[in-house]
Amino acid sequence: MDVYGLIGRPVEHSLSPPMHEAAYEAHSLDARYVTLEPDPDRIGEAVAGADAIGVAGLNVTVPFKQDVLPHVEPTPTAEAVGAVNTITFDDGAPEGHNTDVAGVVRAFAHHDVEIDGQSAVVVGAGGAGRAATYALADAGAETFVANRTVERAEALAADFSALGVDAGGLAALDERVPEADILVNATSVGMDAPDTSPVPADVLHEELAVLDAVYSPLRTKLLRDAATAGAETVDGAWMLLYQGVAAFERWTGVDAPVAVMNESLRDRL
Ligand code: NAP
């Protein structure tokens, strides 16, 4: 039996176990997916230990996505983003991937949203903001990142200067969003207080495609406002789904049963 796992703190309410186990069942794979909460001071030992005992693959979530970097060989994408959410244990050192980037790109592709040559705005400069900004800029969008703490957005833009990323504070949304084709919310706004949105409703418009990384609730205020404005809406479960799809495909080498994984996820949201 192959054992896969998720390391993070907390992980008990993660939706990844049922999503991945639904995929194993659909492909008749003899595999299990477990959640683990390693000691934050022993994260290197946790990765090496998983390798030593033959764990087939790991997902990594908050707060360890940056912490595992020194303990893996990062792919160029994971290195650029500065975070790892998937580890493969093949020959040699454990390899660190960032499938949140693929999650963003494939969520838009699923909705037939073109990225290359478009103008994109990302709100948020934390972990999800870094992944979304890199995903969009690397896929050819002219990308602006807006963040409450403007210094954090500027630091992100400096890291991605080769991709032409520009940055500012939340006030810049008033002039950036009306000109944009793509908008991503990568802040946690809308999660704990469902009637809050990081973007004023009156700047949304029908030419926009809006992805909200928040997936609980699924229909955030931002997405409700976007729908009212006539925009295309992409909920956060699509990003969550496709980062899992990309991890599954890295680990197993076979196409993921996307519809099965999607159903398993949405049954629980
Ligand atoms: P993080 O690293 O802690 O970053 C949080 C971000 O939210 C920062 O940009 C922060 O701005 C901003 N923020 C927080 N409260 C705010 C407020 N009241 N007003 C304006 N901005 C505020 O968190 P993360 O890991 O990037 O996650 C962000 C969200 O994305 C979470 O809801 C998470 O669940 C979701 N997410 C979804 C997926 C998916 O697959 N769908 C994947 C990853 C994350 P400051 O820098 O100013 O503090």
CA distance 177 to 80: 26
Q: Is 65 a catalytic residue?
A: yes
List pLDDT tens digits, range 197-230: 999 999 999 999 999 999 999 999 999 999 999 9
pLDDT tens digits for range 72-83: 999 999 999 999
Residue with tokens 């997936």: 215
pLDDT tens for each residue of 145-184: 999 999 999 999 999 999 999 999 999 999 999 999 999 9
Checking if the pLDDT of 192 tops 90, the result is: no
Percent of the chain with pLDDT over 70: 100
Nearest CA residue ID for atom 6, ligand 1: 187
Catalytic site residue from 65, 97, 130, 221? 65
Task: Give the span between the Cα atoms of 264 and 66, in whole angstroms.
Answer: 28
pLDDT at 114: 98
Instruction: Name all residues whose Cβ lies below 6 A of ligand 1.
Output: 62, 100, 103, 124-129, 147-149, 152, 186-189, 191, 198, 213-215, 236, 239-240, 243
- Roughly what angle, to the nearest 10 degrees, separates helices 127-138 and 99-110? 60
| pLDDT at site 194 | 86
